[in-house]
Amino acid sequence: MSTGKTAKVLKTIKENETTTTVIMDVEDERFSSFRPGQFATIRIMENGEWSKPHPFTISGAPGDKLQMTIKRNGHFTSELIPALNDASQIQCAGPYGIFCKDIALKEEIVMVAGGVGITPFLSVLRHFKKTGAKNTCTLFWCNKTFADAFAASELEEMAESLKLTVIHVLSRETNPDMYYEEERPQIKFEKGHFSRDMLARHIHSTTASFYLCGPSGMQQTVVEELAAYGIAPDTVEKEAFVYNGA
Ligand SMILES: Cc1cc2nc3c(=O)[nH]c(=O)nc-3n(C[C@H](O)[C@H](O)[C@H](O)COP(=O)(O)OP(=O)(O)OC[C@H]3O[C@@H](n4cnc5c(N)ncnc54)[C@H](O)[C@@H]3O)c2cc1C
């Protein structure tokens, strides 16, 4: 069985207290021609033994160096990932997965992300920016606070060149409107949890394609809210970051 290709860590970026981006060089053409939304597995050598492979979405665009944005969870993501450096031994396998497979063909796209579930959509939007895509995109990004939205500035920039509206849905901010800036009308704020009312306020299309990525509890609620708004659950393309540790 393939164990993956040797990768060299070029850089790690601490996005915030819980999330780190790792940028790697891998000698495998497939990692530069992957489809946005795909993931790869990585293994790290620890005390002379290879870890189990762990899956992470490729958060960069095709053609970029291999990039993954990883939130602390258990030992692998809390201890091994933040400690990576250019001497670390690491192996990557992939790319895998079909999430967002045909997204570039959809004229109107609605993306709903929970926390680090933004990673496939970052890849899609980074790719759209590179290619000058004309798709109309609405991104609901659900976080506890605005400080958790580590890619907020990049999304602001993207909204200047793409047909992109970003709605930050913030569950623990008492007054999220304080972040609204008149000169950036495409960056909007909502208080609470994702809801059918938010959809009604921001989505005016009946033909949009829906994509969802986030923790399983949040996915359940979002699917229910989408259904209440008239979007059939089986038409929503979903990626759950559920991993069985095999
Ligand atoms: C397709 C896919 C894409 C993903 N993309 C990303 C991404 O872009 N960014 C990101 O931060 N995370 C992503 N994840 C989640 C990520 O793989 C896990 O959070 C990570 O592997 C868990 O490592 P750990 O630190 O808990 O490891 P360990 O401490 O080694 O994990 C211990 C055990 O906890 C259990 N476990 C850990 N995480 C999960 C989980 N998510 N579901 C079920 N059981 C679990 C397993 O049994 C595992 O053996 C993705 C998962 C999948 C399946």
Q: Which of 51, 241, 244 to mutate to test the pocket of ligand 1 (most atoms within 8 A of CB)?
A: 241
Question: Is the same domain home to 41 and 128?
Answer: no
Question: Is the same domain home to 79 and 11?
Answer: yes
Question: Is the same domain home to 69 and 143?
Answer: no
Closest CA to 146 of 122, 173, 125: 173
Question: How many domains, the chain?
Answer: 2
Question: Is the same domain home to 120 and 211?
Answer: yes
Neighbour tally for 234: CB within 10 Å: 8
Instruction: Give me the tens of pLDDT residue by residue for the chain, a chain 246 residues long.
Output: 457 899 999 999 999 999 999 999 998 888 988 999 999 999 999 999 999 999 999 999 999 999 999 999 999 999 999 999 999 999 999 999 999 999 999 999 999 999 999 999 999 999 999 999 999 999 999 999 999 999 999 999 999 999 999 999 999 999 999 999 999 999 999 999 999 999 999 998 889 999 999 998 999 999 999 999 999 999 999 999 987 665
d(CA 139, CA 187): 10
pLDDT for residue 2: 52
pLDDT for residue 121: 98
Cα 245 to ligand 1 centre (Å):
7
Provide the CATH number for the domain around residue 88: 2.40.30.10
Domain that holds residue 164: 103-239
Q: Which residues, 6 or more positions from 117, have their beta carbon under 8 angstroms from its beta carbon?
A: 213, 214, 215, 218, 239, 241
Question: Is the same domain home to 77 and 17?
Answer: yes
Provide the CATH number for the domain around residue 222: 3.40.50.80
Q: Which of 18, 76, 243 to mutate to test the pocket of ligand 1 (most atoms within 8 A of CB)?
A: 243
Question: Residues enclosing ligand 1, CB less than 6 A?
Answer: 39, 54-57, 68-71, 73-78, 97, 116, 119, 241-243, 245
Q: Is 189 helix (H, G, I), strand (E, B) or coil?
A: strand
Closest CA to 51 of 90, 95, 11, 93: 90
pLDDT for residue 244: 64
Question: Is the same domain home to 71 and 111?
Answer: no
C-alpha radius of gyration, the chain, whole number: 18
d(CA 113, CA 141): 5
Whether residue 92 lies inside any domain: the answer is yes
Closest CA to 186 of 205, 209, 168: 168
Last residue of a domain, one of 96, 111, 133: 96
Whether residue 245 lies inside any domain: the answer is no
d(CA 160, CA 179): 17
Whether residue 28 lies inside any domain: the answer is yes
Question: Is the same domain home to 35 and 156?
Answer: no
In DSSP terms, 140 is beta-bridged to 112, 167
Task: Tell me what percent of the chain is helix, strand and coil, each rounded to the nearest 5.
Answer: 30, 35, 40
pLDDT for residue 205: 87
Q: What is the pTM of this model?
A: 0.95
Q: What is the pLDDT of residues 113-164, one digit of tens each?
A: 999 999 999 999 999 999 999 999 999 999 999 999 999 999 999 999 999 9
Whether residue 244 lies inside any domain: the answer is no
Q: Is 79 helix (H, G, I), strand (E, B) or coil?
A: helix
pLDDT for residue 163: 98
